[in-house]
Structure 1
């Protein structure tokens, strides 16, 4: 069974001490809008309400970026990733990058 690591948005892990900082780890994914989903989103924009197609796409993108970040942390032998953050940026018309990053650490 693969070792689980702690992921937190805080700078510390309660009842644990950082023994070693291994470095910043990243995970990213670039997603493009889907023409069919754009049509549905346009219709929902007229009547209002949540655009579930985009909510699902962004949720999936966050999880993929987070899992890629965790994979990088495990390669370094980390026990945890602290100070985890997410950011997005438009890479081209209709496509955006979602980036997860944090500091990989070993704990005592």
Structure 2
């Protein structure tokens, strides 16, 4: 079971500090998880400029130019944010019994462990 999923609120825990132009300490929502590369795309973090070739659509509008997009960041460089304390925390799993339509199932559930100090 993955620790970080699409839609989670995460915080960048490594890299350059924000005062020096980096992203450490920034929080954002996970837009996409790239499982094969162990990377995530986080909203508002790790911007990169992408140059696309200028072309035309069938309607005649111009496309292309320079655009900024969020680049992937390694999954080990982000930590899940505890919804109560708004601080980065580790993720735990617990096994629970769930009853759905009269059928009992055993399910693994993620939960945020207590965050004592900043990671």
TM norm structure 1: 0.25
Relative to its length, the structure with more strand (as a share) is 2
* Bigger radius of gyration: 2
Report 1 or 2 for greater relative contact order, CA contacts < 8 Å, sequence distance ≥ 6.
Answer: 1
Relative to its length, the structure with more helix (as a share) is 1
